[in-house]
Amino acid sequence: MGRSYGDVALNADNRLLLTRRLDALVEADWSTGRIIAGAGLTIGGLHAVSLDRGWICPVMPGTQFASLGGCVANDIHGKNHRSVGSFGAHVLRLKLRRSDGTAICSRETRPDLFALTLGGLGLTGLIEWVELQLAPLSAPQLEEEIVAFEALDDYLALDQASADWPYTAAWLDCTSRGARRGLFSRARPAVTPGRVSRTRSFRLPVTMPSWTISRPTITAFNRLYHFVNRRGGTSIRPIEAVLHPLDALRDWNRLFGRSGMLQYQAIFPQETARAGLGRLLDAAADAAQPPSLAVLKGHGDPRSPGVLSFCRPGFSLALDYANRGGGTRSLFEIFDAIVDAHGGRLYSAKDGRMSAALFQNTYPRWRELEDARDPAFSSSFWRRVATAEVA
């Protein structure tokens, strides 16, 4: 789709393979929810056909404009990672077009190639189609509850107490030191259809000047957002509105001006999550540049055979920053040290600057992907993290 945050899909001169036109359905059995679809079909394009027939994509990212091929290549996760695992857990078969011919793989047929393609960053060949098991749609609306919290431990406790809520995530205010206030959102299928709150999407028509996202505006926005939602509460909302928050403002990336944005997303294993998140948030609060958005998610067993998948049981934190060049980069290097020290790792899908050493340490099985890589496929990301020799 051309919407990746980092350089996993890019090559020299920022060239990339667009798969938008590979958006046909090959087969669909609406009695079982098994579909085969072109890799370029988006989640939204799939839902335009499947929701009316009672099926929903089991794992969805924050935007409906992600392609199925991209979901496979990054083995993406959603707010329901605890209950359903990552995208690869629901993929039945894949068809790859490689420079040496085509290959169909699954858990049974060529399982190695299958496991390396899930989270394989598109390097094992062009994904032509994806066979996917959809999930039955129990209700077209979600009941969403917002709970305000004031400290990281409160968040962890809330997360613990939300086993009945398949969709969870938290928004954090990173502009104030000390307190870790935020808003915990949890959602589940609405049993009784209620009055649906109206949601509208807007499109940002122009690229904004770069000061649009700066400390005063971020602070003001965070204070306002927290103030408006401080009492929490429950509402019934359409699934798309809860699960695709990024689509509420189309072309939101233009907010960041011409230099764009960088996201830092790290995951910590269960044991070190509390310490790691705390250190990372302290470092973010101490920095001159505040993140414009911070999102926490709990993760369970990925249930995906993906070898290089990002997810593992624990917690992930995503921090959005306006790209301020060297300053932002050196801040990220401070973060890197914390992530590495706590046994965490970065999400390749969002990365555009991770060092080869960090990648190779935190994804120790990377050589298997290098061996299975189609020699005709590479990316700026891969050349950066996998070809450099690390002592």
Pick the binder of another protein from 14, 32, 52, 387 (CB under 8 A): 52
Q: If binding is defined by CB under 8 A, does position 17 make contact with another protein? A: no
Q: If binding is defined by CB under 8 A, does position 35 make contact with another protein? A: yes
Minimum Å distance from CB 251 to another protein? 12
Q: If binding is defined by CB under 8 A, does position 251 make contact with another protein? A: no
Minimum Å distance from CB 26 to another protein? 6
- Contacting range for another protein; rule: CB under 8 A; set: 20-28, 279-287, 316-324, 326-334: 20-28
CA–CA separation, 249 vs 246, rounded Å?
Answer: 6
Pick the binder of another protein from 9, 28, 132, 236 (CB under 8 A): 28
Q: If binding is defined by CB under 8 A, does position 169 make contact with another protein? A: no
Q: Which residues contact 291 (CB under 8 A, 6 or more apart)?
A: 174, 218, 264, 284, 319, 320, 321
Minimum Å distance from CB 117 to another protein? 22
* Residue 41 or 96 having the CB closest to another protein: 41
CB-based contact 79:167 (threshold 8 Å): yes
Torsion sign, CA atoms 333, 334, 337, 339? negative
DSSP symbol at 327:
H
Residue with token string 């299975």: 372
Pick the binder of another protein from 25, 92, 135, 249 (CB under 8 A): 25
DSSP symbol at 40:
T
Minimum Å distance from CB 49 to another protein? 5
CA–CA separation, 255 vs 126, rounded Å?
Answer: 32
Q: If binding is defined by CB under 8 A, does position 51 make contact with another protein? A: no
CA dihedral 71, 74, 75, 77 (to 10 degrees): -80
Minimum Å distance from CB 25 to another protein? 4
Neighbour-count burial for 232-270, b at 16+ CB within 10 Å, e otherwise? eeebbbbbbbbbbbbbeeeebebbbbeeebbbbbbbbbe
Minimum Å distance from CB 226 to another protein? 36
Q: If binding is defined by CB under 8 A, does position 198 make contact with another protein? A: no
Partners of 29 in the beta sheet? Answer: 34
Q: If binding is defined by CB under 8 A, does position 43 make contact with another protein? A: no
Q: If binding is defined by CB under 8 A, does position 66 make contact with another protein? A: no
Count, residues in the chain: 391
Q: If binding is defined by CB under 8 A, does position 135 make contact with another protein? A: no
CA–CA separation, 91 vs 75, rounded Å?
Answer: 10
302: tokens are 């990925």
Q: Give the C-alpha distances (Å, rounded to integers) separating 56 from 122, 123, 145.
A: 24, 28, 21
Give all strands of the β-sheet with 91-98 in edge-to-edge order.
25-29, 34-38, 126-133, 91-98, 101-106
Pick the binder of another protein from 15, 17, 48, 138 (CB under 8 A): 48
- Contacting range for another protein; rule: CB under 8 A; set: 2-10, 21-29, 133-141, 354-362: 21-29
Q: If binding is defined by CB under 8 A, does position 21 make contact with another protein? A: yes
- Total number of residues that touch another protein (CB under 8 A): 10
- Contacting range for another protein; rule: CB under 8 A; set: 47-55, 119-127, 170-178, 264-272: 47-55
Pick the binder of another protein from 1, 49, 104, 139 (CB under 8 A): 49
- Contacting range for another protein; rule: CB under 8 A; set: 46-54, 116-124, 344-352, 357-365: 46-54
Q: Please, what's the largest Cα pairwise distance for the chain? A: 60
Minimum Å distance from CB 253 to another protein? 15
Residues that bind another protein (CB under 8 A): 21, 24-28, 35, 48-49, 52
